[in-house]
């Protein structure tokens, strides 16, 4: 299977057709290029659609490989083995040559799909060789082009109002170190900017106050922020993530639980917002007496917890509450960042007067880290630190990703394709009454619920057998996490297969 993408408008493959249902009527391709991926970078090497050639998923080759892996480690989470050499664009090919349309997207982490030529060229480019061969300890010995790479990659898409950045490797360590930065900021305020006392320096070495600050981070039920100790203390999506792991006495608030369709339950959902905000304020006040809340962390959409949404108004009020209480506001954009919601950063929808204090990222950004307001910069070295602090080779790839996103207007494509997908969900919801519920989403970051966890799990398996690779979130939610090159034509394939499942298997 050849991997081929059109790389520019002037060299667009002949089958890059302008589709009326994507962009409407335009007078010229130049005009259309502002609105649609289809005009410039259709993946010509993509198959026409999914194809399943084995009776079961996983197929025999994947099953054999799973058994081999089991002799070396726990394989319980492994779904199938993938031939990444054959995978292309939005399509995933497994070890048995089954072809899947991928709406799982490596847990929302592939910005341009599989084997995008811009990334392949970046790896082949001799000028980038040193970044891939040498992995420096960035905190002490960064490469001489590190500042340039930061400015042309991460800082070129920094959230509005945030001008500083700390690189990391993954989502968990991004959140974990954001917590540390917030605690440093809080304690520095308490000291009035003065240096730590000798008592603080001695006591922190034996995990005691005042040096080991008795602070907390407020989080929400349904949230997911990672699996390291601090991040796990703020994670409340599935018991299996937390079982047997010691944790902290940190406050947990209820996230709003909305009823759908939204337009029919405005009063009830507004009451949910008010109830959650009141609880957050009460928790901050109560914990002030025993374990002050240094920061609050929240996802724009609770991604692992069940695709739980809240209104823009709710988030604006939550931000103001943090400002009023002197609590740092951490926005976890590990899953939502990078464009899938139709904005590069999902919190841009909120219309905040004051930006978040910290925005964490990973996944589609290819590397981890967090943007922050300048008052959250530690004064001393080695306070936010590890050996690598990320990987310069990922910034080489991210430069190319950002270039493609901007040239192809892929964030706009997510808005257009997301609207098409959500309409399709709602149509199926009306057609198959009671089988699927609560269609919702921003961009292609979308979801539907099933009547029960068992029904959701059955749907995932049935979709796999029809060539759709997908996954769940929460207890009964089917989530959609696409690459930025996912178009309405791909959404139509997914919706058609979902319709088949609902018609034939339920």
Residues with catalytic annotation?
A: 224, 332, 363, 387
Cα end-to-end distance, the chain, whole Å: 35
Query: In whole angstroms, what is the distance from residue 60 CA to residue 107 CA?
Result: 24
- Residue of 93, 103, 111 whose CA lies nearest to 47: 93
By the 8 A CB rule, do 339 and 408 touch? no
How many of the other CB atoms lie within 10 Å of CB of 32?
Answer: 20
410-431 vs 488-504: helix axis angle to the nearest 10?
A: 20
Q: Which phi-psi region, left, alpha or beta, contains residue 339 (left: φ > 0; alpha: ψ -120 to 50)?
A: left
The encoded tokens of residue 337 equal 């960042």
Q: Which two three-digit tokens encode residue 280? A: 């957050």
Nearest partner of 99 among 51, 46, 57, judged by Cα: 51
b/e for 166-182, b at 16 or more Cβ within 10 A?
A: bbbbbbbbbbbbbbebb
Beta strands at 328-332 and 293-298: parallel, antiparallel or unpaired? parallel
Closest CA to 4 of 105, 99, 121, 96: 121
Please name the residue that has the structure tokens 């029960």.
Answer: 452
d(CA 162, CA 154): 11
Phi then psi for 111, rounded to 5 degrees?
A: -65, -40
């Amino acid at each position: 299977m050849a991997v081929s993408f059109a790389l520019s408008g002037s060299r667009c493959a002949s089958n890059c057709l302008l589709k009326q249902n994507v962009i409407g009527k335009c007078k010229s391709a130049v005009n259309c290029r502002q609105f649609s991926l289809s005009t410039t970078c259709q993946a010509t090497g993509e198959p026409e659609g999914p194809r399943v050639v084995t009776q079961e998923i996983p197929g025999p080759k994947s099953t054999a490989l799973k058994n081999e892996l089991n002799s070396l480690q726990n394989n319980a989470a492994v779904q199938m083995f993938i031939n990444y050499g054959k995978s292309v664009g939005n399509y995933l090919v497994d070890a048995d040559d089954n072809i899947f349309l991928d709406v799982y997207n490596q847990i929302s982490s592939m910005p341009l799909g599989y084997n995008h030529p811009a990334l392949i060229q970046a790896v082949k480019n001799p000028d980038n060789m040193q970044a891939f061969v040498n992995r420096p300890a960035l905190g002490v010995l960064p490469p001489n082009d590190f500042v340039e790479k930061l400015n042309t990659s991460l800082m070129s898409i920094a959230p509005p109002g945030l001008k500083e950045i700390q690189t990391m490797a993954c989502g968990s360590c991004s959140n974990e170190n954001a917590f540390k930065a917030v605690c440093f900021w809080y304690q520095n305020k308490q000291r009035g900017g003065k240096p730590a006392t000798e008592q603080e320096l001695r006591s922190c070495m034996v995990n005691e106050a005042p040096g080991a600050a008795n602070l907390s981070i407020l989080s929400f039920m349904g949230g997911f922020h990672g699996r390291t100790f601090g991040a796990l203390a703020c994670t409340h999506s599935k018991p299996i993530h937390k079982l047997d792991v010691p944790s902290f006495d940190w406050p947990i608030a209820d996230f709003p639980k909305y009823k759908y369709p939204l337009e029919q339950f405005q009063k009830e959902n507004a009451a949910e917002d008010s109830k959650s905000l009141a609880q957050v304020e009460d928790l901050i006040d109560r914990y002030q007496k025993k374990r002050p809340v240094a920061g609050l962390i929240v996802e724009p959409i609770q991604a692992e917890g069940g695709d739980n949404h809240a209104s823009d108004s709710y988030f604006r009020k939550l931000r103001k509450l943090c400002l009023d209480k002197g609590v740092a506001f951490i926005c976890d954009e590990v899953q939502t960042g990078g464009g899938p919601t139709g904005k590069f950063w999902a919190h841009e929808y909120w219309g905040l007067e004051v930006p978040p204090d910290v925005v964490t990222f990973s996944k589609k950004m290819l590397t981890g880290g967090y943007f922050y307001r300048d008052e959250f910069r530690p004064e001393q070295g080695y306070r936010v630190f590890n050996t690598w602090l990320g990987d310069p080779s990922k910034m080489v790839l991210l430069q190319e990703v950002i270039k493609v996103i901007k040239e192809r207007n892929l964030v706009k494509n997510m808005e257009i394709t997301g609207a098409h997908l959500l309409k399709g969900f709602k149509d199926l919801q009306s057609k198959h009454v009671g089988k699927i519920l609560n269609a919702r989403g921003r961009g292609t970051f979308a979801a539907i619920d099933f009547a029960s966890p068992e029904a959701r799990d059955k749907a995932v398996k049935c979709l796999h057998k029809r060539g759709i690779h997908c996954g769940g979130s929460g207890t009964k939610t089917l989530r959609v996490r696409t690459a930025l090159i996912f178009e309405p034509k791909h959404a139509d394939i997914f919706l058609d297969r979902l319709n088949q499942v609902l018609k034939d298997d339920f």
